[in-house]
Amino acid sequence: MIYPLLRHALFTLDAEVAHERTAALLKLAVKTPGMAAVLKRLFAPATRGLSQQIAGMHFAHPIGLAAGFDKHADLTHGMALLGFSHIEVGTVTPRPQAGNPKPRLFRLAQDDALINRMGFNSEGMQVVAERLATRPRALPVGINIGKNRDTALEQAGDDYLAAFTHLAPHADYVAVNISSPNTPGLRQLHETAALRELLEALIKANQWHRPIFLKISPDETPTQIEQVVATAIEAGISGIIATNTTLARPNLRSANANETGGLSGEPLKQAALETLRFVAQLTAKRVPIIGVGGISRAEDVYARLKAGASAVQLYTALVYQGPAVAARLSWGLSALMRRDGVRDISEVIGVEC
Domains annotated for the chain, with CATH where assigned, are 3-347 (3.20.20.70)
E strands within the chain? Answer: 52-54, 57-59, 63-65, 87-92, 105-108, 113-116, 141-145, 173-177, 212-216, 239-242, 262-265, 289-292, 311-314
262-265/113-116 β-pairing: antiparallel
* H or E, element range at 166: helix 156-167
Contact 120, 345 (CB under 8 A): no
239-242/289-292 β-pairing: parallel
Residue 344 has what pLDDT? Answer: 98
The pLDDT tens digits for 244-272 are 999 999 999 999 999 999 999 999 999 99
Residue 5 has what pLDDT? Answer: 87
The vertex-325 CA angle with 322 and 326, nearest 5°, equals: 140
pLDDT tops 80 at residue 3: yes
pLDDT tops 80 at residue 184: no
Residue 173 has what pLDDT? Answer: 98
pLDDT tops 70 at residue 1: no
pLDDT tops 90 at residue 179: no
pTM of the model: 0.95
Q: How would residue 4 be classed by pLDDT, with cut points 50, 70 and 90?
A: confident
Virtual torsion, Cα 216, 221, 225, 228, nearest 10 deg: -80
**Interatomic CA distance for residues 52 and 60, integer angstroms:** 7
The pLDDT tens digits for 128-161 are 999 999 999 999 999 999 999 999 888 999 999 9
**Interatomic CA distance for residues 286 and 308, integer angstroms:** 11
How many C-beta atoms surround the C-beta of residue 8 within 10 A? 9
Closest CA to 105 of 92, 95, 115, 90: 115
Alpha helices in 308-353 (DSSP H): 316-321, 325-339
What are the residue numbers of the active site? Answer: 180
Indicate the range of 104-108, 173-177, 195-199 predicted with least confidence: 195-199
How many C-beta atoms surround the C-beta of residue 236 within 10 A? 14
Q: How would residue 42 be classed by pLDDT, with cut points 50, 70 and 90?
A: very high
Mean pLDDT (whole number) for 58-85: 97
Indicate the range of 102-116, 144-158, 180-194, 321-335 predicted with least confidence: 180-194
The pLDDT tens digits for 280-300 are 999 999 999 999 999 999 999
**Mean per-residue pLDDT of the chain:** 95
* H or E, element range at 10: helix 3-10
The pLDDT tens digits for 202-214 are 999 999 999 999 9
SS (H, E, C) 175-202: EEECCCCCCCCHHHHHCHHHHHHHHHHH
